[in-house]
Structure 1
Amino acid sequence: MSGPQFMHLQSYARKANERGQSVEQVLAEASRAPEYSKHVADPLPPSLVYGVAADEVRRLHDEMVAAGGVEVTLKDGRTARRGIRKDRHTLMTAVASHPLPTDLVNTKPDARADYERWRDHNLAWLKARFGDKLVSVIEHWDEKHPHIHAYILPLDDPTCSARQLNPAWQAKEKAMETARAAGHDDKAALKLGNAAYRAKARELQDHYYEHVSLACGLTRTGPKRERLSRQQWKARKDAAKLTAQISQEIDGRLEDVVDAEDGLERSLAAKAEEIVEKLDLADQALEEAEADRAEAKRLREQAARDAQNAEARIQQQLDQKQEELEALHRQQREAERADLHRARQEAEQEARRLRDAQAQLNQDRADALRNAAKEAAHVVLELFLGVLDGSVRPNPADPRVWTIRDDDLRERAKKLDLIELIKDTMKALHVAWTQLSKRLPSTEQAVVADKIAEPVKAALDRQPGHQP
C-alpha cells in the first residue's frame, strides 16, 4: 500500500458559507441524511470509531453555543455579554481518505489490515493533537475510498471559536498582530498573516506525514504535485513501503526481545526466592489489565537499559507510547524494578545479548530512516538554490554535466547519487530562470531571484540540524 496522503482541517459556522456549508449541513451529511447525501450513489450509515455519533455532536455543539458568550463594550463605556454570532466558526472538522479502494479493503484481508493500521494511527494523532476536544470520529464506507471524519469542539472556550483550534489560524492571527504592532497597515498585515498560515499548515501536514503516513507506507504528495517521472514516483512509493516494513519489522523484533526477556525472568524466579512474593503480585496485576503488563515490561527493561546508553532511544519510544501509564505506576513499581535489577545480574550474559540486539535495532533505524533522508533532502534544496544563484549550472561544453562550485556540496551530491535523479528538474529551473532574467532589468534580477528562492530557503530552515 502506498500513495499520497494528507489530513484536511476546516471549521464551520451555523450560518452557511458561500458553498452552502454549515454546522447543520456538515453533521447531517455525516449522518447520511437523504437531503444531504445526493452525491452518494448508495448511502450507508457511518461507522463510529471514537466518541459519540454525529447526531450527539450536534447536541453537544448546540449546548456549548447556548452556554457561550462574548464580552462587548457599549458606546457609553459599559460592558455587556452577548450570545455567539451565527457567523462565528464553532465546529472544527478533520477529514482523511485512505488511498486503497473501498471494494479492495472490504474483500482483501491484507488491505483491510493496512486500512485499520492507518485508521488507528489517525486516531492516535487526533487524540494527541486535540485531546478531550475531540468528541467524535466516524468512518464512511459508501464512497470510492474509505475515509474518516473527526469533529472537534472548543468546549473550554466561552467564545466558542473553533478557528482557534487550528494551529495555522493561530499562526496567522499572531503574525498579523505582530505586523500591526510593528506599524504595518491592514493590507500588509494580512499578507504576512496569510504567509504564516500557509507555513504552519505545511508544518502541520509534515507532522501528520511523520506520525501517520510514514508509518503506514504512504507518501507525502502525489507524482503530479512534484512533477515526478514514472521511475521517480515508483522509487518514492517503494521507499515509503520499505519505511513501513522496517517499522513493522522493528516492532516485531522488539516483541521477540520482550518475549525472550519474559522467559528469562521466569528462569530467574527460581533463583530469586526473596522476590517470589512480589513477582506473584506482579503476575496477578498483569493478568488483570494489559496496561499493567505493558508498564511492568517497561520497568523490567529499565534495569538493562541503565547498563548501556544505546538502549535509551528504545526507552524513549516506549515512554511516548505509555506516558499515561508511566505517570500512574512509576512510584508503585520502583521497588519491584530494583528487585528485578538484582535478579538480572545472575544472567548478565543473556541480558547482554538482548541489549546488543536492541542497540543494533536502534542503529539501523537511526541510520536508515533519519540521517540519510534528511541529508538527501537538504542537498536537493541546496542544489536548487545553487541553480538560482549560478553556483550550480550546466557545463557549456557538455550540458549533460553539471558544474557545482561548492566542493562540499558537489561531494555530498555525488555520494548520494542525486544529480542523475533530479537533473531534469534542475535543467528546467535553470532554463526558466535564464529566460526570465533576460526579460528583467538588471536592477530587478536580484530581487526576483530572492523571491523565487524564498520557499526553498524556508524549506532549508525547517531541516533540523542543517540550518544554513
Structure 2
Amino acid sequence: MSYQFIHIQTYGDSARSVGQNENHVNSAQQVFGEAMRLPEYSLHVDNPLPAHCVGGTHTVEELARRRSELLLSIREKVVSKTGKTYERRLRKDAQTLYTEIHSHPMKCSVLQENYAQNRHVINQWLALLLRDFENRMPSGIEWSAVLHRDEEYVHAHILAINADDPKLNAASLHCGKNAASRYRAAHDTSSAIPPLPKPELLLRPRKPRKPKLARKQQTRVRNQRKYEAAIFEWEQACTQVHQENQKRLRLWRAENSAHLREARKLRTHVPEMKAYDDAMRALQDHYHDAVGKPCGLLRDGPRKERLSTVEHATRKRQAEKLAKDIKNVKHMRRETAAEAQNIADKTRMFVKNLEAQEARLLLREEEIRRREDDLTARVSAFDELEVAMEETLSAAERGEIHFSARGFQLSNPNITGRLQNFLNPDLCQTPARKIFEKFLKLIKRTVVGSTGYPPVSTDEIPAEDLDRPGL
C-alpha cells in the first residue's frame, strides 16, 4: 500500500453488524476495548502489544469513563402516543462515539527492522494527521489517539465524544452524516423508502384467574388442580400464538427486505446521499493536501483507476519525489525566513546604533554651541575690559581720576558709567571683573605713590560702597 487511508465512523452502545457478516458486530464498548488492546477484543491480533497514546485530551481509559459518566447523567424528553411527556435515558443505539482510523503504508515489520530511521517518517505522519484532526473538529470535543504497531500496517485510532452536545451527538462530527442532515433540514424532505406494513399479530389469550380460597381443604385442592391445568393450557396457547407471530414477522422481514432492495434499484438517486458522498470526497481531498501529499502518499489506490503494476509504481515514485520536493521547499522557506529574520535583526541593530550615534552628535553639537557662546561672551567682555582699561589709564594720565583713602572719583561721566558696569555686583564672578579690580588696585598704588598720599589698603572694595553713585 502506497496510498492514504482514512476511515470515519460513529458508534452507539448497541451492537451493530459490520457489512454482510452478521457474526461480526461493533459497538462503542468493542471499539474502546480494541483501542486499549483488551484481550477479549484483540482476538484478531496474533501478538497484541500495548497501545501507545500519541495525543488527545484524555487517555482511552479516561475517555471511556468520561463517556459513561455523561451517558448516566443525560435524560431526554419523549412524547408518547397519548401526548404525555416523560424523561428517559438515551437510546442504546444513539450514536455517541466518533472514531477515525488512519493507516500508513509502512508495515510494522519494516518499522521494527530500522526503527531509528523509520520512526521519523511515522512521527511526521502522526504530527500531520493529529494537527489536521484538531483543525477539522469543533471546539469542546474530548478525544484520545493511540498508535498500534502489532498488525500488518502501522495505524492510529482516534476516538472522540461531542461533550458540548446535550445528547453527545457524534453524527455532527461525521462530515458525511452532518452534510446529509443539513440537506434534509434545508429541503424538509426525506428519501427514506417506506417499509411494508407489518402483519397483524395474534393476541395472547387471557390468563386464567386464580380461584378464591375455599373453606374446605378438599375444595381448595380441587380448585388448585383445575387452576394449574388451566395455566398449563394457557401457556401452551401462548406458545402457539408466539410461534405464529414469529413466523409472520419472519415472513414480513423477508418480504420487506426484498421490497427495499427492489426499491433501491428503481430509485435513481438520493439527494442527501449525494451530499454525503460529496462531503466524504471533500474529506479525502483535504486529507491528501494536509497529510497524504506531504508524506508522499497517493490520493487513490491502483484499483480506483485500474492501473497496472508498472503504472502504480511510477505513481508511487512520483508521489515520493513530490514529498521530498515539498520537504525541500519547506526547508528552504525556513532557511529563507531565518536569513530574513537575521537581516532584520541586523538592520534594527544598525538603525539603533545610528540613532544612538546621532544622539551623541547632537549632544556634542549642543556642547560646542554652548562653549562657542561662552567664548563669544568672554571675548566681548574682554574687549569691553580693554576699552575700559585704556580709558581708565588715559583718565589717570590726564588727572581725571582722584583716589582717596576709601576709593576714587572720576570727573568724566562716560568713563564713570563704563566703570560702574564693570563694578556691577552681578559681574562679580566674571574673569573680566577680577582683572579690572586688580587693574584698579595697581593704578591706585601707582597714583598714591607718585602723589604722596598715605598708603591705601589693596583689599577688595566693600560691597556697600560699590552701590554708591560716583564709584
**2:165 is aligned with what amino acid?**
D
- Of 146, 150, 161, 1:153 maps to 161
SS of 2:96's equivalent in the other structure is strand
For 1:8 and 1:123, how far apart are their aligned partners in 2? 14
- Are 1:58 and 2:64 counterparts? yes
User: Where in structure 2 are the equivalents of 1:53-452 lying within 5 Å?
Assistant: 53-108=59-114, 109-131=116-138, 132-177=140-185, 180-181=188-189, 191-273=270-352
Contact map agreement 2:5 2:104 (CA 8 A) in 1: no
AA of the residue aligned to 2:168: C
Q: What CA distance in whole angstroms lies between the structure 1 residues aligned with 2:269 and 2:187?
A: 9
Letter of the 1:8 counterpart: H
C-alpha contact (below 8 Å) 2:298/2:319 kept by paired residues: yes
- When the two chains are superposed, the root-mean-square deviation of aligned CA atoms in Å is 2.7
- 2:12 corresponding residue in structure 1: 13
Tell me the amino acid that sits aligned with residue 141 of structure 1.
R
Equivalent residue number for residue 427 of structure 1: none
Deviation at 1:82, TM superposition (A): 2.4
Question: How does the TM-score come out when normalised to structure 1?
Answer: 0.54
Letter in 2 for 1:38: L
CA-CA distance at 1:185 after TM superposition: 7.0
Partner of 2:210: none
Q: Say which SS state the counterpart of residue 138 (structure 1) adopts.
A: strand
Q: Which residue number in structure 1 is paired with residue 35 of structure 2?
A: 30
- The alpha carbon displacement at 1:141 in A equals 1.2
Contact persistence 2:12–2:94 (CA under 8 A)? yes
Aligned counterparts of 1:162 and 1:182: Cα–Cα separation in 2? 21
What's the CA shift for 1:270? Answer: 3.6
The answer (yes or no) to whether the contact 1:6–1:208 under 8 Å persists in 2 is no
Matched-pair contact (CA < 8 Å) for 1:46–1:138: yes
Measured after TM superposition, the shift of residue 34 of structure 1 is: 1.0
1:266-325 Cα offsets, whole Å, 9 max, x none, are: 432442227999xxxxxxxxxxxxxxxxxxxxxxxxxxxxxxxxxxxxxxxxxxxxxxxx
Q: Structure 2 CA distance, aligned partners of 1:26 and 1:245?
A: 36
Shift of residue 145, structure 1, vs aligned partner? 1.3
* DSSP-derived class of the 2:172 partner: helix
Question: 1:21, CA displacement in angstroms?
Answer: 1.1
For the 8 Å contact 2:184–2:190, the answer to whether it is kept is no
Give the SS at the match of 2:270: helix
How far off its partner does 1:3 sit? 0.9
Question: In the aligned structure 1, how far is the partner of 2:35 from the partner of 2:193?
Answer: 41
CA contact 1:84–1:160 (8 Å) conserved in 2: no
Question: What is the CA-CA distance between 1:177 and the residue it aligns to?
Answer: 4.5
Query: Paired residue for 1:330?
Result: none
TM-superposed deviation, 1:96? 0.8
Counterpart check, 1:3 vs 2:2: yes
> 1:192 and 1:253, CA in 2 relative to 1: closer, same or farther beyond 3 A?
same
Structure 2 CA distance for partners of 1:166 and 1:275, relative to 1, 3 Å: farther
Aligned partners of 1:67 and 1:158 also within 8 Å: no
Q: Pairwise mapping of residues 38-57 of structure 1 onto structure 2 (< 5 A)?
A: 38-51=43-56, 52-57=58-63
Label 1:274 to 1:153 Cα distance change in 2 as closer, same or farther (>3 A).
farther
Letter matched to residue 12 of structure 2: A
Match in the other structure for 2:247? none
Change (3 A) 1:173 1:228: same
Q: Distance in 1 between matches of 2:142 and 2:317?
A: 34
User: 2:421 corresponds to which residue?
Assistant: none
Determine helix, strand or coil for the equivalent of 2:5: coil
| Residues 4, 270 of structure 1: alpha-carbon distance in 2 compared, 3 angstrom cutoff | closer
Paired AA for residue 279 in structure 2 = K
Partners of 2:96 and 2:168 within 8 A in 1: yes
Q: Equivalent residue of 1:20, what SS?
A: strand
Output one character per residue of 1:158-182: Cα deviation in whole Å (capped at 9) or x when no partner.
1222122111012223334455549
Pick the structure with more helix per residue: 1
Q: SS in structure 2 opposite 1:92?
A: strand
Q: Is the 8 A contact 2:9 2:98 kept in 1?
A: yes
- 1:49 deviates by 0.5
Q: What letter corresponds to residue 14 of structure 2 in structure 1?
A: K
TM-score (norm 2): 0.54
Q: Tell me, in whole angstroms, the C-alpha distance in 1 between the residues paired with 2:278 and 2:344.
A: 51
Return the alpha-carbon distance in structure 1 between the equivalents of residues 36 and 100 of structure 2.
Answer: 16
Structure-2 separation of matches of 1:245 and 1:229:
24
What percentage of residue pairs aligned between the two structures are identical?
A: 29
Give the counterpart letter for 1:113 in structure 2. Answer: H
